[in-house]
């Protein structure tokens, strides 16, 4: 069977020894010819050759025989709340609870131990005007973009990932990404200051659903995503 090889560099970790979920989902989605949902089955290891196999109308990411992720065609149907303003997002990130305690401080997206220009440092905190919504500002660095200055899709998927966790965390506690789907509506340029927001949708036992979105300062929406988070057994 034909397959492609993917490799997740250590820089793009979520937990210390595996890839950030949103980033990995975005890498897999890049190989799909249509909008898709990616399910994570096992932690994708870092700095290791992984195989991407065709599977019907979808894809499977494997390490040898172990299934790590699978993708299938999917269309998001998501009710998206009003965007927070630039000022609301700026204030919300001051309330990021990961500053006090962070379970994964080395995470590429939301880790507080990552330096500027290394991690994305998206620190979403509660939007006081919108219950259940979190927000932050994000300025994508030049090394996330191609020669035209357009940010690669996998980094947009990553940016839409962790905010959803902080939206469901009050109910979910520590949780890991289970399923993820993102829709990139417009190209995103590096160096532009963006608003990232996320909100809790529903909770069902250990499963927690969240939405997230990316906006320009003006409130114009650029991308959105839908995620299912799975609480870890205590």
Q: Is the distance from CB of 196 to CB of 124 less than 8 angstroms? A: yes
Residue range 54-66, pLDDT digits in tens: 999 999 999 999 9
The dihedral formed by the CA atoms of 95, 101, 103 and 108, expressed in degrees to the nearest 10: 60
Distance, in Å, from the CA atom of 38 to the CA atom of 157, rounded to the nearest integer, reads 11
pLDDT band at 213 (very low <50, low <70, confident <90, very high): very high
Residue 174 pLDDT: 92
**Average pLDDT estimate for 15-39:** 97
Q: Which position has the token pair 């109308």? A: 57
Residue range 74-104, pLDDT digits in tens: 999 999 998 999 999 999 999 999 999 999 9
**Average pLDDT estimate for 31-49:** 97
CATH number assigned to the domain covering 3-73: 3.10.129.10
Domain residue ranges in the chain: 3-73, 86-231
The CATH-assigned architecture of domain 86-231 is: Roll (3.10)
Residue range 157-203, pLDDT digits in tens: 999 999 999 999 999 999 999 999 999 999 999 999 999 999 999 99
Lowest mean pLDDT among 9-13, 71-75, 129-133, 221-225: 129-133
Residue 1, pLDDT above cutoff 90: no
27: number of Cβ within 10 Å: 25
């Amino acid at each position: 069977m034909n397959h492609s090889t993917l490799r997740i560099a250590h820089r793009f970790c979520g937990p210390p020894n595996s890839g950030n979920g949103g980033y990995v989902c975005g890498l897999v989605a890049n190989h799909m010819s249509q909008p898709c949902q990616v399910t994570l089955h096992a932690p994708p290891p870092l700095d290791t050759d992984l195989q991407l196999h065709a599977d019907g109308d979808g894809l499977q990411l494997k390490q040898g025989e172990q299934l790590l992720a699978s993708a299938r065609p999917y269309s998001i149907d998501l009710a998206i709340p009003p965007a927070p303003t630039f000022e609301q997002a700026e204030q919300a990130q001051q309330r990021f609870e990961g500053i006090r305690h962070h379970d994964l401080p080395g995470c590429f997206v939301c880790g507080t131990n990552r330096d500027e220009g290394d991690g994305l440092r998206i620190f979403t905190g509660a939007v006081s005007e919108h219950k259940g919504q979190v927000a932050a500002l994000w300025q994508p660095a030049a090394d996330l973009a191609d020669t035209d200055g357009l940010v690669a899709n996998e980094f947009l998927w990553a940016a839409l990932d962790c905010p959803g966790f902080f939206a469901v965390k009050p109910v979910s506690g520590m949780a890991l990404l289970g399923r993820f789907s993102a829709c990139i509506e417009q190209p995103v340029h590096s160096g532009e200051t963006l608003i990232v927001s996320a909100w809790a949708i529903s909770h069902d036992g250990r499963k927690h659903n969240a939405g997230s979105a990316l906006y320009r300062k003006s409130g114009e929406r650029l991308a959105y995503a839908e995620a299912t988070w799975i609480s870890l057994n205590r």
